[in-house]
Amino acid sequence: MAEIIQQEKGKGGKKRAKRILPHMDMTPMVDLMMLLITFFMLTTSMAKAKVMDITLPDKITDPNQKAPVIAAYRTLNIILGPENKLYWYPGGVKPEDYNNLPPLNETDFSPTGVRQLLLERNRALFKKINDFNQQFISGKLEISQDSLAGAIRTLKNVDDTGPIVLIKAYKAANYGNFVDILDEMNICGIARYTFVDIAWYEEKMVEFASGGASASATSSN
Amino acid sequence: MTPMVDTFAVILIFLMLTATMSSPEPATISTPYSISEKPTPDFNAMSFLLSADGKVFVNFDNGPDTLLKFRPKILAEMGKRYGIEFTEAEYREFEKYPSSLGVPISQMKSFLDAKDAATRKEFQVGIPMDSTDNQLAMWIQYARTVNPAIQAVIRGDTQTEFPVVKRVLDILQELNVKRFSLITSLEAIKINLEEIQQ
């Protein structure tokens, strides 16, 4: 035992040297971490893409089946035209008017364009939905988010004053226009809207309204 | 030094866990904006990529559980329909291929056998969808047989010409897919009542 103690004493100097914490150079590790963080920050897309749901009407395959009849005074036809332009006309076109087509009104996607047009026609319903939302936000109405969505859906279902919007697309339109107009329907709280095929006379109306620039290319229809 | 390293480590771990590896798509798509806040589905989705130059690409997922192996099953159905036999390795390759496909079924075998991305890119010419050879409709049909819960998701470029969109919508409508989602980026728009009183 004595020997051992002596040995310890003898190595005392060495032991003290060992007691000093080993100093590790962390700079390369930090560099690597920085590099990885930068890489991940640049490659990750934090915002997940959103989706907008849409429902198309049934395709009428049975020739005896008639298309549903809607009130002409509530109908608003919106046609997506070339060069991000929008054309609209109210009501419908009767077969006897084919030689005397109604003029198209031109508008655009700006807040003062189509939004103004839709809000003017949908004011009653929009006001109701807005009031409802305001009550919910201010806490006067204590319901869950789901029942709020349900209540707004009911408001839309019972609405009988707002416009029935028929969205049509001319061939020179693009996908961005299509999404924009559907988005506009959601913004303005339009209760009834659907996407339908463009009729031949409407194509003609667009060609006439856009100055016949594309008329020659599309005359085959 | 140590606290800084600790912070870095925490940030790094956080980023690694939240990272959703976005696989490179065959075409760059700039999505339009909308006010919708509904997130995209994580699984049970068949997505249609409509590129600005009018090509159509499809993609499916393997379902909520990877054991379900929906992708190889869909490919097997397609192979049966067009009389092409795929090998086990090709099924595996198809199962883990991360991005959208725009390969005609006749080229699919050579596409899956190709080793590098550059060769594969040449096969990505878009899914044929004209009335004589409507492979897009077949993909949709088999995807729905294999996975009845599948939802259609359309991811178009802002500049995609409308006739291409219309064609895809028509095919979906003919196959009785009437509800589908359009992928958009979020853009907040607030309008108030004063604005409409003008």
ipTM entry: 0.81
Residues B147 and B70 sit within 8 Å (Cβ to Cβ): yes
In a domain, B91, yes or no: yes
How many folded domains does chain A comprise? 2
Say if the Cβ atoms of B180 and A53 lie within 8 Å.
yes
Confidence check: pLDDT of A213 > 60: no
Q: Tell me which chain A residues have a C-beta less than 8 angstroms from the C-beta of B4.
A: 30
pLDDT confidence band for A218 (50 / 70 / 90): very low
Q: Tell me which chain B residues have a C-beta less than 8 angstroms from the C-beta of A173.
A: 162
Determine which of A25, A40, A179, A182 to mutate to test the interface with B (most B C-beta atoms within 10 Å). Answer: A179
Residues A187 and B189 sit within 8 Å (Cβ to Cβ): yes
**Span of A16-25, B5-14, B86-95 with lowest mean pLDDT:** A16-25
Put simply, the chain A residues between 119 and 158 with a CB less than 8 A from any chain B CB are 119-120, 123, 126-127, 130
Return the H-helix or E-strand segment holding A35: helix A27-43
Q: Tell me which chain A residues have a C-beta less than 8 angstroms from the C-beta of B1.
A: 26, 30
A95 & A134 share domain: no
CA B154/CA B80 separation, integer angstroms: 27
Determine which of B2, B5, B15 to mutate to test the interface with A (most A C-beta atoms within 10 Å). Answer: B15
CA angle A135, A139, A143 (to 5 degrees): 85
Please give the average per-residue pLDDT across B129-156, as a whole number.
Answer: 88
Put simply, whether A60 touches B (Cβ < 8 Å) is no
In a domain, B112, yes or no: yes
Please give the average per-residue pLDDT across A73-102, as a whole number.
Answer: 83
Q: Tell me which chain A residues have a C-beta less than 8 angstroms from the C-beta of B161.
A: 171-172, 174-175
CA B129/CA B174 separation, integer angstroms: 13
Confidence check: pLDDT of A206 > 70: yes
Which residue in A44, A80, A178 is closest to B20 by CB distance? A44
Residues A164 and A192 sit within 8 Å (Cβ to Cβ): yes
Please give the average per-residue pLDDT across B98-119, as a whole number.
Answer: 85
Q: Tell me which chain B residues have a C-beta less than 8 angstroms from the C-beta of A58.
A: 178
Confidence check: pLDDT of A10 > 80: no
Q: Tell me which chain B residues have a C-beta less than 8 angstroms from the C-beta of A126.
A: 196
In a domain, A140, yes or no: yes
pLDDT digits (tens, 9 = 90+) for A121-136: 888 888 888 888 888 8
CA A58/CA A55 separation, integer angstroms: 9
- For chain B, helix (H) and strand (E) counts, in that order, are 8, 8
In a domain, A103, yes or no: yes
Q: What per-residue confidence (pLDDT) applies to B23?
A: 67
Domain of residue A182 covers 72-121+163-218
pLDDT digits (tens, 9 = 90+) for A137-173: 887 777 777 787 888 888 888 877 888 888 988 888 8
Say if the Cβ atoms of A52 and B181 lie within 8 Å.
yes
Give the list of residues 6+ apart from residue B28 with CB closer than 8 angstroms, or none.
B51, B157
CA A172/CA A215 separation, integer angstroms: 12
A80 & A134 share domain: no
Residues A146 and A154 sit within 8 Å (Cβ to Cβ): no
Specify the higher pLDDT residue, A182 or A9. Answer: A182
Percentage of chain A modeled with pLDDT above 90: 1
**Span of A99-103, A186-190, B88-92, B111-115 with lowest mean pLDDT:** A99-103
Determine which of B166, B172, B190 to mutate to test the interface with A (most A C-beta atoms within 10 Å). Answer: B166
A114 & A168 share domain: yes
pLDDT digits (tens, 9 = 90+) for A53-80: 888 877 777 777 777 777 778 888 889 8
pLDDT digits (tens, 9 = 90+) for B164-180: 988 898 888 888 888 88
Q: Tell me which chain A residues have a C-beta less than 8 angstroms from the C-beta of B32.
A: 175-176, 179-180, 183
pLDDT digits (tens, 9 = 90+) for A192-202: 888 888 888 88
In a domain, A23, yes or no: no
Confidence check: pLDDT of A217 > 50: no
pTM: 0.77
A167 & A157 share domain: no
Return the H-helix or E-strand segment holding B112: helix B108-113
Determine which of A42, A52, A180, A185 to mutate to test the interface with B (most B C-beta atoms within 10 Å). Answer: A52
CATH code of the domain containing A116: 3.30.420.270
Confidence check: pLDDT of B100 > 80: yes
How many folded domains does chain B comprise? 1
In a domain, B198, yes or no: no
Q: Tell me which chain A residues have a C-beta less than 8 angstroms from the C-beta of B190.
A: none
In a domain, A82, yes or no: yes
A129 & A214 share domain: no
Put simply, the chain A residues between 156 and 185 with a CB less than 8 A from any chain B CB are 169-180, 182-183
Q: B83-119 burial, b if ≥16 CB within 10 A, otherwise e? A: eeebeeebbebbeeeebbbbbbbeebbebbebeeeee
Q: How far is B104 from chain A (nearest CA, A)?
A: 24
Helix (H, G, I), strand (E, B) or coil at A166: strand
Confidence check: pLDDT of A215 > 50: no
Q: What per-residue confidence (pLDDT) applies to B121?
A: 83
In a domain, A129, yes or no: yes
A151 & A169 share domain: no
Please give the average per-residue pLDDT across B115-133, as a whole number.
Answer: 84
Confidence check: pLDDT of A221 > 50: no
In a domain, B195, yes or no: no
Q: Tell me which chain B residues have a C-beta less than 8 angstroms from the C-beta of A41.
A: 15
Q: What per-residue confidence (pLDDT) applies to B10?
A: 92
Say if the Cβ atoms of A49 and B196 lie within 8 Å.
no
Please state the separation of Cα B162 from the chain's center in Å: 19
Say if the Cβ atoms of B39 and A126 lie within 8 Å.
no
Say if the Cβ atoms of A179 and B18 lie within 8 Å.
no
A148 & A214 share domain: no
Structure tokens at A221: 């229809």
Q: What per-residue confidence (pLDDT) applies to A35?
A: 92
